[in-house]
Amino acid sequence: MSNAPEQPQLYLITPTEIDLSAFADTLGSVLDSHAAACVRLALATKDEDKLSRAVDTLRAVTDARDVALVIADHTLLAERLGLDGVHLSDAARSVRHARKVLGPDAIVGSFCGGSRHDGMSAGEAGADYVAFGPVRETALFDGDIAEADMFQWWSEVIEVPCVAEGQLDLKMIAQLAPITDFFGIGDEIWGSDDPAAALSALWAATR
C-alpha cells in the first residue's frame, strides 16, 4: 500500500497547437520558475515532420533542466526519436505494446478518465503512472468525471502513481493535493499572459 506524497509533483502538458519558437521560451520560463517531473508533448497534429521538429525544440528545453519529455500516443515516434516515453490516451489497451516497443526503462503513462477499473488494468499491464480526469464537469468531455473519492481510494490501495488532470482550479487542487502524486497542468495556464505566474497562483493551493 502506498500513500500519495505530501507534496505532489508538477506534470506539464503542452497545448494542442503551438508557435514552436515562442512556446519554447515560454516553457523554459515556466520550468525555471517551477520544478517539474515531466512535460507531455500533446500536439493535435499527426504530421511526423512537425512532431519531430517540436520534439527537437522542446527536448533542448527539458534536457537542459533535467525534465523528462514524453509524447502523447505516438509510441513508434517516441522510440525513433529517443524520447523518455509515451502517454497513451486509450486506457490499458496499448500499454503492453508500448512497453514492448520502448523497453523497461521508458515512461509509459495511461489516461483512464474516471475509471478505477481502467486504471487498475493499465497498472497491471505495466503503466508507470495512470492519469485521471477531468476532475470537474465540462461540456467538452462526455466520459466519467474523476471524483475525489476515487483519488482517495487509489492513494490508499494502489501503488502505481496517479496524475490528476483536466479542469483543475484552486479548489480542486487544494482538495486533491493530499491524495494525488502529480497534477497535470496545461490549458489552465497557457492562455494566460504570464503562464509562470498563473502556475504560481494555482500551485499555491498544494501547500
The domain total for the chain is 1
Distance (Å, whole) CA 185 – CA 66: 19
Alpha helices in 8-103 (DSSP H): 20-33, 48-64, 75-81, 95-102
pLDDT > 60? residue 7: yes
Residue 2 belongs to a domain: no
For residue range 127-168, list pLDDT tens digits in order: 999 999 999 987 666 667 999 999 999 999 999 999 999 999
Residue 4 belongs to a domain: no
Residue 3 belongs to a domain: no
For residue range 25-38, list pLDDT tens digits in order: 999 999 999 999 99
Residue 34 belongs to a domain: yes
Residue 75 belongs to a domain: yes
Amino acid 2: pLDDT: 43
Residue 66 belongs to a domain: yes
Residue type, 95: V
Domain at 147, CATH number: 3.20.20.70
Q: What percent of the chain has pLDDT over 90?
A: 91
Residue 173 belongs to a domain: yes
Which domain covers residue 130, as residue numbers? 9-202
Distance (Å, whole) CA 169 – CA 171: 6
pLDDT > 70? residue 4: no
Distance (Å, whole) CA 151 – CA 4: 9
Residue 67 belongs to a domain: yes
Read off the DSSP letter of residue 95: H
